[in-house]
Amino acid sequence: MDNNWPLWEVFIRSKKGLSHKHVGSLHAADADMAIENARDVYTRRMEGESIWVVESKDIVASNPSQQEELYDPAKDKIYRHPTFYDIPDEIGHM
């Protein structure tokens, strides 16, 4: 029997305007506790100002064994990168 609390994945947004980034996981009995634990474990050095948690079992992941069929076809489509345009000097960095 598994006596552990469920596992939760933690996402932290470091500041406004950026997106939440996965920072790790932790154990908690429910969502409220997961938020509090995340606050205590992952934001004690001012890492962020917003927390998302989601139970690890609710994450749907792509299948590693399908690596080739999913990602290889993008390798020879270099025209999808916007690198063929001349950017006028006045625009500066884009």
Q: Is there binding between residue 49 and other proteins (CB under 8 A)?
A: no
Contact residue for other proteins among 6, 20, 33, 52 (CB under 8 A): 33
Residue of 28, 23, 29, 27 whose CA lies nearest to 43: 23
Q: Is there binding between residue 47 and other proteins (CB under 8 A)?
A: no
Query: What span, in angstroms and rounded, lies between the C-alpha atoms of 8 and 35?
Result: 10
Query: What span, in angstroms and rounded, lies between the C-alpha atoms of 35 and 58?
Result: 16
- Name the strand (E) or helix (H) holding 9: strand 7-13
Nearest approach, Cβ of 7 to other proteins (angstroms)?
Answer: 11
Q: Is there binding between residue 41 and other proteins (CB under 8 A)?
A: yes
Residues within the interface to other proteins (CB under 8 A): 5, 26-29, 32-33, 36-37, 40-41, 44
